[in-house]
């Protein structure tokens, strides 16, 4: 159980972009898709689903766009100086963001995934704990 007290502050690797997470994320997801493996340069990425009113972001951001398998547009925002991905959003549903919290928060104790997606593409050595929700593809 997390002992995190809110708000939680954080910043990108170079400190040019800072943020304040004001409340518990709605969901913490580990995504094992090949695109997230490339993005995180790891076996999976950690994403917090956060209502936009629960996060404040300061600093200049650049963006990338791609179309997900679902057909939804995936707009990614990142620091133009260090390249850290800060969040992703579907422009058709801007009230929720996919905050790429990773190691960028001062307190990461709440970053325990309750759901794993794209397990069909996960690294064979990754062991998902018993009782944690899993989906072979995006749900």
Q: Residue 40's pLDDT is what?
A: 74
Report the distance separating Cα 107 and Cα 22, nearest Å. Answer: 12
Q: Residue 125's pLDDT is what?
A: 95
Q: What is the pLDDT of residues 80-139, one digit of tens each?
A: 999 998 999 988 889 999 998 777 888 888 888 999 988 898 889 999 999 899 988 875
52 domain residue, yes or no? yes
Q: Residue 80's pLDDT is what?
A: 96
- Nearest Cα residue to 110 out of 32, 43, 47: 47
Q: Residue 45's pLDDT is what?
A: 85
129 domain residue, yes or no? no
30 domain residue, yes or no? yes
Our count of domains for the chain comes to 1
Q: What is the pLDDT of residues 29-81, one digit of tens each?
A: 888 888 877 877 787 888 999 999 999 999 999 999 988 777 778 899 999 99
Contact 17, 86 (CB under 8 A): yes
37 domain residue, yes or no? yes
87 domain residue, yes or no? no
132 domain residue, yes or no? no
The residue range of the domain holding 105 is 8-60+95-122
Q: Residue 135's pLDDT is what?
A: 86
Residue 38 CB partners (closer than 8 Å, separation 6+) = none
Find the farthest-apart pair of alpha carbons in the chain and give their distance in angstroms, rounded: 41
104 domain residue, yes or no? yes
| pLDDT exceeds 60 at position 1 | no
Evaluated on CA atoms 94, 98, 104, 109, the torsion sign reads positive
pTM: 0.82
Q: Residue 43's pLDDT is what?
A: 79
Res. 7 pLDDT band, cuts 50 70 90: very high
76 domain residue, yes or no? no
Q: What DSSP string runs through the chain?
A: -----S-EEEE-SSSSSEEEE-S--SEEEEE-SHHHHHHHTSS-EEEEEEEGGGEEEES--EEEEEE-TTS-EEEEEE-TTT--EEEEE-TT-TTEEEE--TTTBS--TT---SEEE-GGGS-TT--PPTT-EE-SS--
């Amino acid at each position: 159980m997390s002992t995190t007290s809110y708000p939680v502050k954080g910043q990108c690797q170079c400190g040019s972009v800072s943020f304040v997470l004001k409340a518990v994320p709605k969901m913490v997801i580990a995504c094992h898709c090949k695109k997230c493996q490339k993005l995180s340069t790891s076996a999976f990425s950690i994403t917090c689903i956060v209502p936009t009113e629960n996060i404040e972001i300061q600093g200049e951001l650049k963006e990338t766009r791609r179309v997900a398998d679902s057909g939804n547009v995936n707009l990614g925002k990142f620091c133009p100086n260090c390249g850290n991905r800060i969040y992703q959003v579907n422009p058709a549903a801007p009230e929720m963001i996919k905050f790429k919290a990773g190691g960028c928060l001062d307190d990461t104790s709440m970053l325990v995934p309750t759901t794993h997606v794209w397990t069909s593409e996960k690294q064979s050595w990754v062991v998902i704990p018993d009782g944690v929700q899993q989906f072979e593809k995006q749900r």
